[in-house]
Protein backbone atom coordinates (compact mmCIF):
# COMPACT_ATOMS: atom_id res chain seq x y z
CA UNK A 1 0.00 0.00 0.00
CA UNK A 2 1.26 3.47 -0.75
CA UNK A 3 1.46 5.75 2.26
CA UNK A 4 0.68 9.44 1.97
CA UNK A 5 3.86 11.25 2.84
CA UNK A 6 2.49 14.29 4.64
CA UNK A 7 -1.00 13.57 5.89
CA UNK A 8 -3.76 12.62 3.49
CA UNK A 9 -3.07 12.78 -0.23
CA UNK A 10 -4.82 15.75 -1.86
CA UNK A 11 -7.70 15.17 -4.24
CA UNK A 12 -6.63 14.25 -7.75
CA UNK A 13 -7.68 16.83 -10.33
CA UNK A 14 -9.16 15.39 -13.53
CA UNK A 15 -8.63 17.02 -16.94
CA UNK A 16 -10.67 14.93 -19.35
CA UNK A 17 -9.76 17.06 -22.41
CA UNK A 18 -6.00 16.72 -21.92
CA UNK A 19 -4.32 13.61 -23.29
CA UNK A 20 -0.86 14.00 -21.81
CA UNK A 21 0.28 16.14 -18.89
CA UNK A 22 4.01 16.67 -18.56
CA UNK A 23 5.64 18.11 -15.44
CA UNK A 24 8.97 19.83 -16.06
CA UNK A 25 10.81 19.74 -12.76
CA UNK A 26 14.20 20.47 -11.24
CA UNK A 27 15.77 19.97 -7.85
CA UNK A 28 16.91 23.58 -7.75
CA UNK A 29 16.31 26.88 -9.51
CA UNK A 30 18.40 28.40 -12.24
CA UNK A 31 19.07 25.21 -14.20
CA UNK A 32 16.86 26.29 -17.12
CA UNK A 33 13.67 24.50 -16.16
CA UNK A 34 11.41 27.24 -17.55
CA UNK A 35 13.51 27.59 -20.70
CA UNK A 36 13.21 23.85 -21.32
CA UNK A 37 9.47 23.82 -20.53
CA UNK A 38 8.76 26.70 -22.93
CA UNK A 39 10.90 25.40 -25.80
CA UNK A 40 9.66 21.83 -25.39
CA UNK A 41 6.09 23.16 -25.57
CA UNK A 42 6.89 25.10 -28.76
CA UNK A 43 8.65 22.05 -30.27
CA UNK A 44 5.54 19.92 -29.64
CA UNK A 45 3.28 22.58 -31.12
CA UNK A 46 5.48 22.82 -34.21
CA UNK A 47 4.85 19.11 -34.70
CA UNK A 48 1.14 19.82 -35.03
CA UNK A 49 0.18 19.05 -31.44
CA UNK A 50 -2.38 21.05 -29.46
CA UNK A 51 -0.33 22.40 -26.58
CA UNK A 52 -1.02 24.17 -23.30
CA UNK A 53 1.62 25.60 -20.99
CA UNK A 54 0.94 26.08 -17.29
CA UNK A 55 3.48 28.08 -15.32
CA UNK A 56 3.10 26.53 -11.86
CA UNK A 57 6.22 28.27 -10.61
CA UNK A 58 4.28 30.68 -8.43
CA UNK A 59 7.50 31.83 -6.69
CA UNK A 60 9.23 32.85 -9.87
CA UNK A 61 6.86 32.91 -12.84
CA UNK A 62 9.13 33.48 -15.83
CA UNK A 63 6.93 32.04 -18.57
CA UNK A 64 5.20 35.42 -19.26
CA UNK A 65 8.52 37.14 -19.97
CA UNK A 66 9.78 34.22 -22.07
CA UNK A 67 6.64 34.47 -24.23
CA UNK A 68 6.55 38.26 -24.37
CA UNK A 69 3.52 38.51 -22.08
CA UNK A 70 2.87 40.46 -18.87
CA UNK A 71 0.15 41.22 -16.37
CA UNK A 72 -3.41 41.63 -17.65
CA UNK A 73 -6.68 42.82 -16.15
CA UNK A 74 -8.40 39.63 -14.93
CA UNK A 75 -11.84 41.32 -15.10
CA UNK A 76 -11.60 41.73 -18.85
CA UNK A 77 -9.38 38.78 -19.79
CA UNK A 78 -10.29 35.22 -20.65
CA UNK A 79 -7.80 32.64 -19.46
CA UNK A 80 -5.82 30.82 -20.66
CA UNK A 81 -4.14 33.36 -22.92
CA UNK A 82 -3.02 32.36 -26.42
CA UNK A 83 0.54 32.82 -27.63
CA UNK A 84 2.50 31.18 -30.44
CA UNK A 85 -0.45 28.87 -30.99
CA UNK A 86 -0.41 27.61 -27.40
CA UNK A 87 -2.73 28.10 -24.44
CA UNK A 88 -0.85 29.66 -21.55
CA UNK A 89 -1.56 30.36 -17.89
CA UNK A 90 0.72 31.91 -15.29
CA UNK A 91 0.41 33.68 -11.97
CA UNK A 92 2.60 36.28 -13.66
CA UNK A 93 -0.49 37.38 -15.64
CA UNK A 94 -2.15 38.39 -12.35
CA UNK A 95 0.73 39.41 -10.10
CA UNK A 96 3.98 41.04 -11.25
CA UNK A 97 6.84 38.53 -10.72
CA UNK A 98 8.56 40.71 -8.10
CA UNK A 99 5.52 40.42 -5.83
CA UNK A 100 5.25 36.65 -6.08
CA UNK A 101 7.72 35.77 -3.31
CA UNK A 102 5.15 36.09 -0.51
CA UNK A 103 3.36 32.89 -1.55
CA UNK A 104 3.26 30.06 1.01
CA UNK A 105 3.11 26.33 0.25
CA UNK A 106 -0.64 25.74 0.72
CA UNK A 107 -1.43 28.93 -1.23
CA UNK A 108 0.78 27.73 -4.05
CA UNK A 109 -1.13 24.50 -4.24
CA UNK A 110 -4.50 26.26 -4.15
CA UNK A 111 -3.55 28.66 -6.93
CA UNK A 112 -2.21 25.93 -9.19
CA UNK A 113 -5.17 23.65 -8.46
CA UNK A 114 -7.44 26.49 -9.59
CA UNK A 115 -5.37 27.07 -12.73
CA UNK A 116 -5.80 23.39 -13.54
CA UNK A 117 -9.47 22.91 -12.75
CA UNK A 118 -11.16 26.32 -13.09
CA UNK A 119 -9.60 27.30 -16.40
CA UNK A 120 -10.99 25.95 -19.65
CA UNK A 121 -8.01 24.25 -21.25
CA UNK A 122 -10.25 22.68 -23.86
CA UNK A 123 -8.90 19.79 -25.89
CA UNK A 124 -5.12 19.44 -25.66
CA UNK A 125 -2.65 16.80 -26.72
CA UNK A 126 -0.08 18.10 -24.23
CA UNK A 127 -0.23 20.26 -21.16
CA UNK A 128 3.32 21.19 -20.16
CA UNK A 129 3.62 22.28 -16.52
CA UNK A 130 6.60 24.32 -15.34
CA UNK A 131 6.78 23.20 -11.70
CA UNK A 132 8.30 25.29 -8.91
CA UNK A 133 11.92 24.18 -8.32
CA UNK A 134 12.73 21.92 -5.39
CA UNK A 135 11.22 18.98 -3.60
CA UNK A 136 9.37 20.58 -0.68
CA UNK A 137 5.75 20.32 0.42
CA UNK A 138 4.39 22.60 -2.31
CA UNK A 139 5.98 20.50 -5.06
CA UNK A 140 4.90 17.26 -3.41
CA UNK A 141 1.26 18.32 -3.11
CA UNK A 142 1.26 19.50 -6.72
CA UNK A 143 2.68 16.24 -8.02
CA UNK A 144 0.08 14.35 -6.03
CA UNK A 145 -2.94 16.35 -7.16
CA UNK A 146 -2.11 17.19 -10.79
CA UNK A 147 -3.05 14.45 -13.26
CA UNK A 148 0.52 13.86 -14.45
CA UNK A 149 1.40 11.46 -17.24
CA UNK A 150 5.04 11.85 -16.30
CA UNK A 151 7.87 14.12 -15.28
CA UNK A 152 10.84 15.49 -17.19
CA UNK A 153 13.69 16.39 -14.84
CA UNK A 154 16.05 19.18 -15.85
CA UNK A 155 19.54 19.30 -14.45
CA UNK A 156 22.89 20.86 -15.23
CA UNK A 157 26.15 18.89 -15.24
CA UNK A 158 27.41 20.20 -11.87
CA UNK A 159 27.37 17.77 -8.96
CA UNK A 160 25.19 19.99 -6.76
CA UNK A 161 22.53 20.09 -9.42
CA UNK A 162 22.72 16.33 -9.93
CA UNK A 163 22.27 15.66 -6.22
CA UNK A 164 19.11 17.76 -6.33
CA UNK A 165 17.96 15.98 -9.47
CA UNK A 166 18.16 12.68 -7.59
CA UNK A 167 15.95 14.16 -4.86
CA UNK A 168 13.47 15.09 -7.57
CA UNK A 169 13.52 11.56 -8.92
CA UNK A 170 12.81 10.16 -5.47
CA UNK A 171 9.92 12.59 -4.97
CA UNK A 172 8.21 11.43 -8.17
CA UNK A 173 8.84 7.80 -7.32
CA UNK A 174 7.22 8.30 -3.92
CA UNK A 175 4.08 9.78 -5.41
CA UNK A 176 4.16 7.18 -8.23
CA UNK A 177 4.49 9.63 -11.09
CA UNK A 178 6.58 8.05 -13.87
CA UNK A 179 9.82 9.89 -14.58
CA UNK A 180 10.03 10.08 -18.36
CA UNK A 181 13.68 11.00 -18.23
CA UNK A 182 16.43 13.50 -17.51
CA UNK A 183 17.50 16.47 -19.64
CA UNK A 184 20.93 17.98 -19.13
CA UNK A 185 20.79 21.70 -19.83
CA UNK A 186 23.83 23.99 -20.26
CA UNK A 187 25.61 20.76 -21.00
CA UNK A 188 28.44 21.97 -23.24
CA UNK A 189 29.51 24.96 -25.30
CA UNK A 190 30.16 25.09 -29.02
CA UNK A 191 32.55 27.87 -30.00
CA UNK A 192 30.74 29.98 -32.59
CA UNK A 193 34.06 30.83 -34.28
CA UNK A 194 35.78 27.46 -34.60
CA UNK A 195 32.90 25.07 -33.88
CA UNK A 196 34.91 23.28 -31.20
CA UNK A 197 32.81 21.68 -28.50
CA UNK A 198 33.99 22.18 -24.93
CA UNK A 199 32.62 20.51 -21.83
CA UNK A 200 32.57 23.31 -19.30
CA UNK A 201 31.65 21.04 -16.42
CA UNK A 202 32.51 17.39 -15.85
CA UNK A 203 31.03 15.48 -18.75
CA UNK A 204 28.15 13.03 -18.66
CA UNK A 205 26.65 13.65 -15.19
CA UNK A 206 23.04 13.73 -16.38
CA UNK A 207 23.50 10.56 -18.38
CA UNK A 208 25.14 8.74 -15.47
CA UNK A 209 22.40 9.97 -13.13
CA UNK A 210 19.73 8.65 -15.51
CA UNK A 211 21.48 5.27 -15.84
CA UNK A 212 21.85 4.99 -12.08
CA UNK A 213 18.14 5.51 -11.49
CA UNK A 214 17.11 3.55 -14.56
CA UNK A 215 15.28 6.30 -16.48
CA UNK A 216 15.91 7.44 -20.06
CA UNK A 217 18.44 10.17 -20.78
CA UNK A 218 16.42 12.53 -22.97
CA UNK A 219 19.24 14.69 -24.23
CA UNK A 220 21.86 17.36 -23.69
CA UNK A 221 21.20 21.01 -24.51
CA UNK A 222 24.24 23.25 -25.04
CA UNK A 223 24.85 26.63 -23.44
CA UNK A 224 23.97 29.05 -26.17
CA UNK A 225 23.75 32.81 -25.60
CA UNK A 226 20.96 32.94 -28.21
CA UNK A 227 18.80 30.77 -25.93
CA UNK A 228 19.04 33.34 -23.13
CA UNK A 229 18.62 36.30 -25.51
CA UNK A 230 15.47 34.81 -26.99
CA UNK A 231 14.13 34.11 -23.50
CA UNK A 232 14.60 37.77 -22.62
CA UNK A 233 13.10 38.93 -25.92
CA UNK A 234 9.96 36.90 -25.36
CA UNK A 235 10.29 34.66 -28.42
CA UNK A 236 11.63 31.19 -27.54
CA UNK A 237 14.56 30.04 -29.70
CA UNK A 238 12.59 27.12 -31.15
CA UNK A 239 10.03 29.67 -32.39
CA UNK A 240 12.49 32.34 -33.60
CA UNK A 241 15.20 30.05 -35.02
CA UNK A 242 13.50 26.75 -35.89
CA UNK A 243 16.45 25.69 -38.08
CA UNK A 244 19.13 26.28 -35.44
CA UNK A 245 21.10 23.43 -33.85
CA UNK A 246 19.40 24.06 -30.49
CA UNK A 247 15.95 23.89 -32.09
CA UNK A 248 16.91 20.56 -33.66
CA UNK A 249 17.96 19.28 -30.24
CA UNK A 250 14.58 20.37 -28.85
CA UNK A 251 12.93 18.58 -31.74
CA UNK A 252 14.65 15.39 -30.74
CA UNK A 253 13.74 16.02 -27.10
CA UNK A 254 10.07 16.33 -28.07
CA UNK A 255 10.27 13.01 -29.92
CA UNK A 256 11.90 11.25 -26.97
CA UNK A 257 9.37 12.71 -24.54
CA UNK A 258 6.60 11.54 -26.84
CA UNK A 259 8.07 8.02 -26.96
CA UNK A 260 8.41 7.85 -23.18
CA UNK A 261 4.89 9.22 -22.61
CA UNK A 262 3.52 6.77 -25.15
CA UNK A 263 5.01 3.95 -23.12
CA UNK A 264 3.22 5.22 -20.01
CA UNK A 265 -0.05 5.48 -21.92
CA UNK A 266 0.55 1.97 -23.25
CA UNK A 267 -2.50 0.51 -24.97
CA UNK A 268 -5.22 2.42 -23.12
CA UNK A 269 -5.04 5.79 -24.84
CA UNK A 270 -2.27 6.14 -27.40
CA UNK A 271 -1.05 9.67 -28.19
CA UNK A 272 -1.30 11.04 -31.73
CA UNK A 273 2.02 10.44 -33.48
CA UNK A 274 4.31 13.45 -33.91
N1 LIG B 1 20.86 26.34 -22.75
C2 LIG B 1 20.98 27.60 -22.31
N3 LIG B 1 21.92 28.42 -22.82
C4 LIG B 1 22.06 29.68 -22.37
N5 LIG B 1 21.30 30.23 -21.41
C6 LIG B 1 20.34 29.47 -20.86
C7 LIG B 1 20.13 28.12 -21.27
N8 LIG B 1 19.09 27.62 -20.54
C9 LIG B 1 18.68 28.60 -19.72
N10 LIG B 1 19.42 29.72 -19.91
C11 LIG B 1 19.31 31.00 -19.18
O12 LIG B 1 19.56 30.75 -17.82
C13 LIG B 1 18.71 31.53 -16.99
C14 LIG B 1 17.88 30.60 -16.09
O15 LIG B 1 17.01 29.84 -16.88
P16 LIG B 1 15.51 29.53 -16.40
O17 LIG B 1 14.87 28.76 -17.49
O18 LIG B 1 14.83 30.78 -15.97
O19 LIG B 1 15.83 28.60 -15.16
P20 LIG B 1 14.87 28.02 -14.02
O21 LIG B 1 13.47 28.02 -14.54
O22 LIG B 1 15.40 26.63 -13.77
O23 LIG B 1 15.07 28.90 -12.83
C24 LIG B 1 17.85 32.34 -17.94
O25 LIG B 1 18.41 33.61 -18.08
C26 LIG B 1 17.91 31.57 -19.24
O27 LIG B 1 17.74 32.39 -20.37
MG1 LIG C 1 11.83 29.07 -13.87
Mind listing the pLDDT tens digit of every residue in the chain (274 residues)? 444 455 677 888 999 999 999 999 999 899 999 999 999 999 999 999 999 999 999 888 999 999 999 999 999 999 999 999 999 999 999 988 777 667 777 888 899 999 999 999 999 999 999 999 999 888 898 999 999 999 999 999 887 778 888 899 999 999 999 999 999 999 999 988 898 999 877 778 889 889 988 899 999 999 999 999 999 999 999 999 999 999 999 999 999 999 999 999 876 678 888 8
Ligand 1 atom 15: residue of nearest CA: 32
Pairing of strands 197-198, 150-155: unpaired
H/E element holding 220?
strand 217-220
Ligand 1 atom 3: residue of nearest CA: 223
Ligand 1 atom 19: residue of nearest CA: 32
Residues, beta carbon < 5 Å, ion ligand 2: 34, 57, 62
Ligand 1 atom 25: residue of nearest CA: 228
The residues lining ligand 1, judged by C-beta closer than 6 Å to any ligand atom, are 26, 29-35, 62, 133, 185-186, 221, 223-224, 227-228, 231
* Boundaries of every domain in the chain: 18-264
Phi and psi at residue 229, in whole multiples of 5°? -60, -45
Sequence-distant (≥ 6) Cβ neighbours of residue 245 within 8 angstroms: 190, 222, 224
| Choice from 25, 28, 35, 201 to test ligand 1 binding pocket (greatest atom count within 8 A of CB) | 35
* Nearest residue to 38 (alpha-carbon basis) of 186, 228, 266: 228
CA pair distance 204, 187, nearest whole angstrom: 8
- Total residue length of the chain: 274
Instruction: Report which ligand 1 atom has the smallest distance to the Cα of 26.
Output: 22
Q: What is the maximal distance between C-alpha atoms in the chain?
A: 57
Strand partners, 90: 55
pTM (2 d.p.): 0.94
CATH topology for the 18-264 domain:
Rossmann fold (3.40.50)
Contact predicate 69/83, CB 8 Å: yes
Kindly report the number of other CB atoms within 10 A of residue 200's CB atom: 14
Amino acid sequence: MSMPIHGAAPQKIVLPGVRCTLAVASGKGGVGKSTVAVNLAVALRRKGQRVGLLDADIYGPSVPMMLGLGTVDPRTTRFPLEKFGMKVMSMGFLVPPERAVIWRGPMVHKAVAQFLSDIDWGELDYLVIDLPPGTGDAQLTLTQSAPLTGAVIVTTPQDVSLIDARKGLRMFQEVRVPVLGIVENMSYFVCPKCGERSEIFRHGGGKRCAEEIGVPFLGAIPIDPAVAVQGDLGVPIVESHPDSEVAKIYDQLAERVYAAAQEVHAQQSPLPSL
